Amino acid sequence: MTNLTGAAFGAALALGLLAAAGAALPRRVRPAAVGGATAAAGAAAVAAGLSAMAGRPWSAWLPDLLPLAGVRLTVDPLGGLFIAVTGAVAVCAAVYATGYSRPGRDGADAGHGLDGRAVQAMLPLFVLAMLLVPAAASVTTFLLAWELMAITSLLLVVAEHRRRASVGEAGLWYAVMTHLGLVTILAGLAGFAAASHGESFDRLREAAGGLPPAVRSAVFVATLAGFASKAGIVPLHVWLPRAHPEAPSHVSALMSAAMVNMGVYGIVRVGLDLLGGGPSWWWLLVLAAGAVSALYGILQAVVATDLKRLLAYSTCENMGLVLIGVGAAGLLSVSGARTMAALALTAAMLHVVNHAGFKTLLFLAAGSVLRATGTRDLDALGGLRSPMPATTALFGVGALMASALPPGSAFVSEWLLLQSLVHALPDSGTVAAVTMPVAVAVVALSAGLAIAAFTKAFGVGFLARPRGAGAERARESPPAMIAGMALAAVGCVAAALAPGLVAGGLSRAVGVAAAVAGPGADPVTGPVVLRPAGMPSTMSPLLITVALLVAAVVLTGVLRAAAAGRARRRARPWDCGAGPASARMEYTATSFAEPLVRVFDDVLAPETDLDVTPVEESAYLIDSVRYRTGVADRIEHRLYRPVLAAARWTGHAARPLANGSVHRYVGYGFYAFTAMLIFLAVTR
């Protein structure tokens, strides 16, 4: 029976297909038609998700749509949460894309391919795939939707491969990592389905309790690896800081604010719902991965000079914080602290919502800067406040929301996460009592570093004087791009000031995960004043914001009144006799991060190069000095480069095996098949 949830979800799918068909329209109307239909699909998805979160689930089985297995769909409160978030991001990105996909002024961006038929068709299909993933209710349906999401996103990542060689390299990294992740997810879910003698999620839930512990652990570890890769969790994150900067900015927003959430969804769905929880070491592994990702990601964001690369590493950090909440929820549920477990998972889901909002806004604003200046290098930006006032203001809103400072939205979810970690100590058991203080320290340190990272991004990138030719000639973006950013900003502000409005829906979403859902009151209550269950702490983001505004107005009034009776005169700041300060004298992103690079030198391992060129006639006189410094991704260099070198060596060494002889190839197959039969005979 179709209810509001089913009707809205069906409308979202139909509108998405209509948007993909709009790619056949003429070029001049194509971006507007595809963007408008995709935005409508996103709005319908938001309605479907909110309806499911309100307690109206929907299910459907389409046995004739796929051979053998058919298609099973279920939109429950947990899936509804991720569907609503994806739909909201899609609305903002689609509106923005109608302006971003058109050629820039004076034909500067003509021929970049974003208004081509293939790219325009892939955008709504990518959104549809992300809507189907949390709605899938069987292994076959889930894997097909997951692969569709991977393929469409890959094609969008490489949309501008003809303009920059780095796009192709980023696409290759993304293709390899996402399909390796698919292999591990396929292995885990296929083994789960085989052991359960069925592939529907209902059958998996029923059979999970009777599976041997080794099988359950193997399923969890295999799926965790694949889902963590999609979420950009360290050390499986290497595709993310490559693909996000090179993708079109509205695609970056969809990937960073919506697609990475599917990794979190998979961990929660499989670990806490289908498997029904597990031993404490599962969740210690999740929590440790989240903690490492949060710290490493934000450290790389602090030192990054590429604006979109900074935002990509910030995604690693925020997904790490979410996994800290998920891991803490699983660990606390094992120790019996079910109320704190539900609160930790609620905080994690709220951070998913908040991160989707501010990361959408930040990536869209970064795209506005890139379109206007032609560069993502913070060291070459600056001075954008006057020519791009709307983009500057909107990026400032996003930076505040991401900085874990009141009245930002990240502050609310991280405060809830800290409350669950701190107040869980008395009743959480020995393992949690040792782990939780470390998790608290990680959350606190990552929050402080996030403030530094976004202060750098906003101050260096938008304020002071322009340091490059692109920044000097920048102009404001088209109205459609501003509208997309403004929609994201409104959502961020709403989530920051009234997070309690979604508390009931989050409680139902958490309740689906039976492993942590405790009986009794909701984990968080209160539309204005947030009241976490089981603790005396309360917090009102709205009242904090009002108090800050009142304090700012009063302080401004006092200062103006004190200065009213004094004569004013203009004077140039002291310049040590060197004349007016130039753009070369300003802080750059590199110099801003230098103190933190020194503090975390052992972790970041910065690379420096000093090249001194003497005068040709005399070695004692210096002609020029060139100093270069950079912070590479240490994990990529230390972990992936040796693996790639070994794979390259193996490929070269194995070339003689492929000599073109059909007889030799048949022999290879015969011996491999025989070895497999012997292995099965021995092990069974």
> Could you report the per-residue pLDDT of 145-189, keeping only the tens digit for each?
999 999 999 999 988 877 787 888 888 899 999 999 999 999 999
pTM, to two decimals: 0.91
**Is there a contact between 46 and 487 (Cβ–Cβ < 8 Å)?**
no
User: What's the rounded Cα separation, in Å, for the pair 235 and 218?
Assistant: 20
Query: Would you list the DSSP string of 482-525?
Result: HHHHHHHHHHHHHHHH-GGGGHHHHHHHHHH-TTT--SSS-SEE
Question: 253 in a domain, yes or no?
Answer: no
**CA gyration radius, the chain:** 26
Same domain for 479 and 413, yes or no, is: yes
Are residues 352 and 484 part of one domain?
A: yes
Number of separate domains in the chain: 3
346 lies in some domain: yes
Question: Which stretches does DSSP call E strand in 361-434?
Answer: none
User: What is the signed CA dihedral for 544, 546, 552, 557, rounded to 10 degrees?
Assistant: -150
Inter-axis angle of helices 503-512 and 77-100, to 10 degrees? Answer: 120
Q: What are phi and psi for residue 84, nearest 5 degrees?
A: -65, -45
Is 313 a member of any domain? Answer: yes
Nearest to 321 by CA among 270, 346, 287: 287
Farthest CA pair distance, the chain: 100
Q: Is the peptide bond before 407 cis (omega within 30 degrees of 0)?
A: yes
- Answer whether the bond into residue 235 is a cis peptide, omega within 30°: yes
In a domain, 56, yes or no: no
**Could you tell me if residue 516 is inside a domain?**
yes
Same domain, 336 and 359: yes
- The contacts of residue 246 (CB under 8 Å, 6+ apart) are 157, 160, 164, 166, 167, 170, 171
Cα separation, 556 vs 32, whole angstroms: 45
Distance CA 221, CA 309 (A): 29
Which pLDDT does position 325 carry in this prediction? 93
Whether residues 521 and 604 fall in one domain? no
In sequence order, which residues have a C-beta less than 8 Å from that of residue 142 and are 6 or more positions away?
133, 136, 189
Cα–Cα dist 187/202, whole Å: 19
Token pair, residue 226, equals: 């694949």
Is 285 within a domain?
Answer: no
Tokens describing residue 167 = 């796009």
Q: Are 623 and 660 part of one and the same domain?
A: no
336 Rama class: left (phi>0) / alpha (psi -120 to 50) / beta: left
Looking at residue 257, its pLDDT comes to: 93
Residue 524 contacts residue 416 (beta carbons within 8 Å): yes
> Do residue 454 and residue 329 come from a single domain?
yes
- Kindly give, in sequence order, each residue whose CB lies less than 8 Å from that of residue 183, ignoring residues fewer than 6 positions away: 226
Look at residue 215 and tell me if it is in a domain: no
Question: How much is the pLDDT for 587?
Answer: 78
Which of these, 328, 467, 484, lies nearest to 398 by C-alpha position? 484
Same domain, 334 and 470: yes
For residue 665, the enclosing domain spans: 639-683
Residues whose CB is less than 8 angstroms from the CB of residue 483 and which lie 6 or more positions away in sequence, other chains included? 95, 96
Q: Does 378 share its domain with 478? A: yes
The sign one gets for the Cα dihedral 151, 152, 157, 163 is positive
| Residue ranges in the chain whose pLDDT is less than 50 | 105-111
Whether residue 274 is contained in a domain is answered as no
Let me know whether 612 and 475 are in one domain: no
Q: Are residues 438 and 322 in the same domain?
A: yes
Same domain for 456 and 590: no
Residue 430 and residue 344 in one domain: yes
